[in-house]
A and B are shown apart, each in its own frame.
Chain A
Amino acid sequence: DTGVSQNPRHKITKRGQNVTFRCDPISEHNRLYWYRQTLGQGPEFLTYFQNEAQLEKSRLLSDRFSAERPKGSFSTLEIQRTEQGDSAMYLCASSPTLAGGKYNEQFFGPGTRLTVL
């Protein structure tokens, strides 16, 4: 399977702990996106990378959140000092870039469901 993969699929943690999620995009997709989805809502944009450069961050991404894509391949999303409000599904998507920088569709992974107790 050459789709977007995310690990772990589920994470239960206690308030105040740090967690890290990993996303492996489709090979050769140079764009990678992170979204957060809470119950009953649509996904909300968090951040995106073009290769290893983080080009945009949402206001939702507080200073407890950090994302990296060190070699332009996989990405990690870390949440420090987790709070109960961080409980959500975290979705990763990747996208190729067409010639001339044109946008192409995003392919989503299965998500990581975080529960903060």
Chain B
Amino acid sequence: AQSVTQPDIHITVSEGASLELRCNYSYGATPYLFWYVQSPGQGLQLLLKYFSGDTLVQGIKGFEAEFKRSQSSFNLRKPSVHWSDAAEYFCAVVYTNAGKSTFGDGTTLTVKP
């Protein structure tokens, strides 16, 4: 069965520090890959996506992610975190053109002043 693992339930970083959120997916085929951010009580905002091509993708708000096929990973990075980045982050995969998304359980980011 398709699954997405976000190993870190909660991460705390200091403002200005770098950030890496991990995401691994199961299943053999290469899926479409996404990172979303969710603030409390809100819907999901797309940060970036990977469909094909260059394995390093740039997104909004200074985020980037790198697809590594050999590791079945799609980790999210940001070089310098801002207090406003505190939120919950979800990795998601889509395997078919039907578009059904499978999400990880999320990583909650806390930013220390």
Chain A interface (Cβ within 8 Å of chain B)? 4, 31, 33, 35, 40-45, 48, 55-56, 91, 93, 95, 101-111, 113
- Total A-B pairs, Cβ < 8 A: 60
Interface flag for B60 (CB, 8 Å):
no
Within 8 A of A (CB), among B19-42: 32, 34, 36, 41-42
Contact A41/B105 with A103-B32, A105-B34, A111-B42 known, Cβ cut-off 8 Å = yes
The listed residue (A31, A42, A107) touching B106 by CB distance below 8 A is A42
Q: Which residues on B sit within 8 Å (CB–CB) of A104?
A: 99
Could you name 16 residue pairs across A and B whose Cβ atoms are closer than 8 Å?
Answer: A4-B43, A31-B99, A33-B100, A42-B92, A42-B105, A42-B106, A43-B103, A45-B100, A56-B100, A101-B97, A103-B99, A104-B99, A105-B34, A106-B99, A108-B44, A113-B41
Distance of A109 Cα from B44 Cα, bound (Å):
7
Chain B interface (Cβ within 8 Å of chain A)? 4, 32, 34, 36, 41-46, 49, 90, 92, 94, 96-106
